[in-house]
Amino acid sequence: MDAIDLEVFTNALGGITEEMMARLIRAAYSANIKERRDCSTALFDRQGRDIAQAAAIPVHLGALGDAVAAVISRDPVPGEIFLLNDPFSGGSHLPDLTLITVIAQPEDPEQILGFAVSRAHHADIGGMRPGSMPADSTTIFQEGLVIPPTRIGRHGQLDENILRLILANVRQPELRRADLRAQVSANQLGAERLQSLCYPLSSEAFDLRVAEVLDYTERRIRRGIAQLRDGIYSATDYLEAADGSNILLQVKVTVSGDALTIDFTGTAPQIHGNLNAPLAVTRSAVAFALRALIDPYLPANAGAMVPVHLVVPKGCLLHAVWPAAVVAGNVETSQRVADLLMLALGNGLAQGQGTMNNLILGNANFSYYETIGGGQGASSSGSGLDGVHVGMSNTLNTPIEALEMEFPLRLLSYELRENSGGNGAYRGGWGIVRTIQVLEDCTLSLLSDRRHHAPQGILGGQSGTPGHNFLNNEILPAKTSRELKAGDQVRIETPGGGGWGEGTP
């Protein structure tokens, strides 16, 4: 292909994933997907290579390749639909349900053209606490129903027997059913659109075009890496454990020509808690950080990771093994991995809030989940943004009207946390204050970080203000689960970003 054909074909693939995403959001029933957009879509070729992604959730997208590889190992046939959430078979954490549809070639329906994939965070998948994100889990079994790659339907229809088995183990089963059907519909659209794109071509010609797209992406990322100075760059950071102790993370990045070796040797071993990350989640964080650092406009496909060699010792916090608890590894540990790489490669950006501030409320009748934005780090380009999602999360908030209509909750405050960003020549972004009153007895789970270690400024800029959690004005730990009574109030104050440079704004 010439440059114009390449650009058109690349964007045609990306356009399909964006259309899949739009259908999933519009067809979903739960606020978590239709309002917050905690979902992602992608396309893969027959070899299991990622060929296009929607601009969605970084921690979802980078892990989907492992999920597709797990399905390929089950000898799929065109038209089949697979469901999985097992973090040790390409999943991220259990509430993220991944649906994979096997696409048939237009000229030969018995052969595979590729895979349409959607991943969505379902507000509950069973487990010891409503919302399936307990702060006190120590094994995967406590976090919900584990689904290995499972054939769940064919040609757009789900197997009702399997579906009933799954829904018998979750809270609010009809919402889960409706959201799964939205994923089926989104995948079906992706399959149809990819077949239409391939139809004028032979399968060989289509494969050649896909290969050119991946090669182009690889050339661009290699060109970006080559602009870095050869050498070894290292960084150290810490996660805050549920008991208040620090968990060490280390990385050593070796830049050699147009290739990278990223080595996490020295990171703490997996723990008896849920900050453990499966390898797929670590890979997601690495892919996001490199894209942000090297080429933010890089086409989103598997070509971007070809020149990257990842070393993650098995059994460490970032390569946890079964049956480790991992629910917070997906949301909190992934944030720190991205921060760690940016710190090592010295990108000139002060640290952002570095946490998703996960708030989970629920009982047998409802499950509410929210990730809350905070301050972005400042840079030489200007002050950090206020009240935004930073790093591995890319969701919206639940609007007040939707929240109070769907859940037995009342929002008492939702405002910027003034002066929480670090001062400097450019200030860090401000965090958020969000106060919710529960109107029914329910369970609270909080998974947050940067409550003790402040987001760091750079080049003389000051640190941002750490976050705080409160229950009825009494301070809560960064990670905790509690039983609440109707009328209780939970207030989350999220961290501000670090400042850039000496001076004042």
Alpha helix stretches (DSSP H) within 143-278: 160-167, 173-198, 203-226
Residue where one domain finishes, among candidates 216, 245, 270 = 216
Arithmetic mean of pLDDT, 164-185 = 96
Give me the percent of the chain exceeding a pLDDT of 90.
90
The residue type found at 37 is: R
Residue where one domain finishes, among candidates 216, 243, 274 = 216
Say what the alpha-carbon torsion angle 134, 137, 143, 149 is, to the nearest 10 degrees: 140
Q: What's the chain's average pLDDT? A: 95
Assigned domain for 238 exists: no
The confidence score (pLDDT) of residue 34 equals 95
Q: Quickly count: other Cβ atoms within 10 Å of residue 236's Cβ.
A: 13
Q: How far, in Å, CA of 291 to CA of 305, rounded?
A: 10
504: pLDDT strictly greater than 80: no
Assigned domain for 229 exists: no
pLDDT digits (tens, 9 = 90+) for 112-153: 999 999 999 999 999 999 999 999 999 999 999 999 999 999
Assigned domain for 145 exists: yes
Which two structure tokens, joined as six digits, stand for 262?
């990223």
DSSP secondary structure letter of residue 87: G
347: pLDDT strictly greater than 80: no
The confidence score (pLDDT) of residue 242 equals 86
Residue where one domain finishes, among candidates 194, 216, 238 = 216
Assigned domain for 341 exists: no
Assigned domain for 230 exists: no
Assigned domain for 311 exists: no
171-174's contacts with Cβ under 8 Å and 24+ in sequence apart are 171/124, 171/126, 171/130, 171/362, 171/364, 171/367, 172/123, 172/124, 172/365, 172/366, 172/367
Assigned domain for 334 exists: no
Q: Quickly count: other Cβ atoms within 10 Å of residue 192's Cβ.
A: 13
201: pLDDT strictly greater than 90: no
C-alpha 297, offset from chain centre: 19
268: pLDDT strictly greater than 90: yes
Q: 290 with 62: CB under 8 angstroms?
A: no
> Which distant-in-sequence residues (6+ apart) come within 8 Å of 22 by Cβ?
none
DSSP secondary structure letter of residue 349: B
Say what the alpha-carbon torsion angle 401, 58, 138, 476 is, to the nearest 10 degrees: -50
pLDDT digits (tens, 9 = 90+) for 494-503: 999 999 998 8
Kindly indicate the confidence band of residue 49, based on its pLDDT and cuts at 50, 70 and 90: very high
C-alpha 245, offset from chain centre: 25
The confidence score (pLDDT) of residue 56 equals 82
Torsion angles phi and psi, residue 170, rounded to 5: -130, 160
The confidence score (pLDDT) of residue 398 equals 94
The confidence score (pLDDT) of residue 394 equals 84
Count the domains in the chain.
Answer: 2
Beta strands in 10-64 (DSSP E): 39-45, 50-53
Range of the domain at 361: 348-505
* Cut 0.75: pTM above it: yes
Q: 384 with 376: CB under 8 angstroms?
A: yes
Assigned domain for 471 exists: yes
